[in-house]
Amino acid sequence: MLPLLFIRKFIMSVSSNHLTIKDIAKLSGVSKSTVSRVINHDPMVKESTRNKVMAIIEQYQFTPSKSARAMRGYGNKVIGIIVTRLDSMSENQAVRCMLPIFYEHDYDPIIMESQFKVEKVQEHLSMLKEKQADGVVIFAFTGLDNNVLSFWQNKSVIMARSYPDYNCVCYDDIGAVTQLLHHLHLTKKHQKIAYIGVEEQDQTTGAVRYQAYLAFCQRYNIIPHAYLGKLSFLSGYDLAPLVLASAPTAIVCATEAIALGLNKYLYEKQLNHIVVASVGNSELLNFLFPQTLFIELGFDKAGTYAANKLIAMLQKVTDFNAIAKTMTIPSQLNHSSS
């Protein structure tokens, strides 16, 4: 009786058009190893044979099996991108800049959602580890501590927050708020500038931006009037009457969502003499309330930088003397309405 194995093999060799390194070897009259060497750019192959093999590879559109080389420890050419929420405008902008760069370098980005949960990050990370992903981009959030990330130390870029010994890409929260205030106070001569922010539990959007406001006030002798709430339109709307009690001529908002809420309130009350300034911008804010002054945190630049950085990291085989650094993306003031 003929073993089934042989039958299957025969069928395969006829019907399946999936070429392997072996087939290429046969077709170009060399051994598997040589083909492998050609593929991996081994300098020890003769020019002539290389050309010969390359020709066959091109002709048959051969691509080595990803799974097989993954098994040999070559990495899957996979990069995980863990965002907090898929519908976060800011992260979206950054991610959209990353994707083409990863594609360019033949990496397959796989996007996952943490929903601000540490356990989700852990889950995704172990999934990626199993899959032998090559690198990760993680959008950090309040509560995420670095011990979860240790395995990825030299193959990850952390966004929006700075961790020691990790490569991070941060936004210039302090600079953004300061520039906004600088423009309002020094250029536009506003004296009474209030602030609506986010609770200090949130490190960057909350605490840092608020502190920047306080610091500026102290330096320029402005009496601070600040209210902190949640990260939503509603919060901006609800805090509006409170902050107006101090009769400000300008109000700085920690986020564009808050600015949207505030603007709605001001519009309803016909208080259109008050200048609204916001960290961050959106198409909608710009459309609905075009007079709003805003400063871009540079999510697109951050995304581009992060992707390039990660790829550079992964290309170094062993980077002993590569120091993990935090890059701060400079903010850019919107001058169209100034």
Token pair, residue 28, equals: 């170009």
290 binds, among a copy of itself, DNA, none (CB under 5 to 8 A by kind): none
**What is the identity of the amino acid at 2?**
L
Distance CA 273, CA 180 (A): 18
Among 34, 203, 204, 331, interactor with DNA by CB under 7 A: 34
Q: Which is nearer to DNA, 53 or 94 (CB)?
A: 53
Please give the helix or strand (H or E) that residue 82 lies within, else none: strand 78-83
Distance CA 293, CA 281 (A): 9
Q: Which is nearer to DNA, 4 or 323 (CB)?
A: 4
Of 128-187, which residues contact a copy of itself (CB under 8 A)? 130-132
Q: How far is the CB of 129 from DNA (least distance, A)?
A: 14
Q: Are strands 332-333 and 293-296 parallel, antiparallel or unpaired?
A: antiparallel
Distance CA 264, CA 288 (A): 9
21 binds, among DNA, a copy of itself, none (CB under 5 to 8 A by kind): DNA
Token pair, residue 326, equals: 């935090």
Of 263-282, which residues contact a copy of itself (CB under 8 A)? 264, 267
46 binds, among a copy of itself, DNA, none (CB under 5 to 8 A by kind): DNA
142 binds, among a copy of itself, DNA, none (CB under 5 to 8 A by kind): none
Burial of 15 from C-beta contacts in 10 A (0-12 / 13-18 / 19+): exposed
Does the protein bind DNA through residue 41 (CB under 7 A)?
no
Q: How far is the CB of 130 from DNA (least distance, A)?
A: 10
151 binds, among DNA, a copy of itself, none (CB under 5 to 8 A by kind): none
What are the Cα distances from residue 38, in Å, to 49, 162, 201?
9, 42, 55
Does the protein bind DNA through residue 21 (CB under 7 A)?
yes
Q: Which is nearer to DNA, 70 or 111 (CB)?
A: 70
Question: Any alpha helices (H) in the chain, and if so which ranges?
Answer: 4-15, 21-28, 32-39, 47-60, 66-69, 89-104, 118-130, 173-182, 209-219, 233-244, 256-268, 283-288, 299-315
Does the protein bind DNA through residue 14 (CB under 7 A)?
no
DSSP string, 87-112: T-HHHHHHHHHHHHHHHHTT-EEEEE
Per-position x/- string for 60-99, each x denoting binding to a copy of itself as judged by CB under 8 A, each - no binding:
---x-xxxx-xx----x---------xx-x--xx-xx--x
Distance CA 197, CA 59 (A): 61
With CA atoms as reference, report the closest residue to 281 among 292, 272, 271, 273: 292
Does the protein bind a copy of itself through residue 260 (CB under 8 A)?
yes
12 binds, among a copy of itself, DNA, none (CB under 5 to 8 A by kind): DNA
86 binds, among DNA, a copy of itself, none (CB under 5 to 8 A by kind): a copy of itself
Q: How far is the CB of 299 from a copy of itself (least distance, A)?
A: 11
Distance CA 224, CA 229 (A): 16
58 binds, among DNA, a copy of itself, none (CB under 5 to 8 A by kind): none
Q: How far is the CB of 279 from DNA (least distance, A)?
A: 47
| Binding interface with a copy of itself (CB under 8 A) | 63, 65-68, 70-71, 76, 86-87, 89, 92-93, 95-96, 99, 103, 108-113, 127, 130-132, 233-234, 237, 260-261, 264, 267, 283-284, 287-288
